[in-house]
Amino acid sequence: MAFVFNYSDIHLSDMQGEIMDNSNVDKGRRRFLTAAATVVGGAGAAAGAVPFIATMTPSEKTKAIGAPVEVDISELKPGERMIKKWQGKPVWILRRTKEMLDDIASQNEAVSDPTSQASSQPEYAMNEFRAREDEYLVVIGICTHLGCSPSFVLKDGDNSPVVDWKGGFFCPCHGSRFDLAGRVFKGVPAPTNLVIPPYKFITPSQLLIGDDSEAA
């Protein structure tokens, strides 16, 4: 039996209406997809900006790796020492008294490298007191023998490592001794003086450790 399709059964107005309905649906769908894409794209851009902005601020990890460290020394009294960290290493800041400076000068014959010719420090610290300003010693507190951290031992203290000790640093690991300028004594395992890091005074009471650029 043959099937006969009668075009007269379909009204033109119905076809037009259906086409218009489909067109409206398509337009609505396009508007929805466009709006959704805009929202998602904006959210993605905002999310992407967060880590970018975060990278503009130095992190604690960055500071530990080597960023300069500012230190307020306004409360440091004569004869006192403070400890800060730079590059993950302890940095000692010792404010020396006149007596301490006199004791340093009296030990030039007892230390291995009195003028730091064979030791590590910036050029401005290649002097008897190994400092920009005689009063302040800024030194990395790690023994140059095997990397232990020496103890700060005051003059004539109960734990003095030798007789007639005038104060300085004593490494309990293998017995190395350093004076109050970080200079190593003769006859101990440590081969060189303690290391002086780059530093400068921002103000009379503010130090910057790790950066000595544009310094006089």
pLDDT in tens, 183-198: 999 999 999 999 999 9
The Cα–Cα gap between 105 and 93 comes to 19
Is pLDDT at 32 greater than 90 in this prediction? no
Decide: pTM greater than 0.85: no
Given the residues 65, 174, 191, 206, select the one marked as catalytic. 174
Q: What is the mean pLDDT of residues 36-53?
A: 46
Radius of gyration of the chain (CA): 37
Is pLDDT at 216 greater than 90 in this prediction? no
Judge whether 212 and 88 are in contact, CB under 8 Å. no
Active site annotation includes 174 = yes
The Cα–Cα gap between 79 and 99 comes to 10
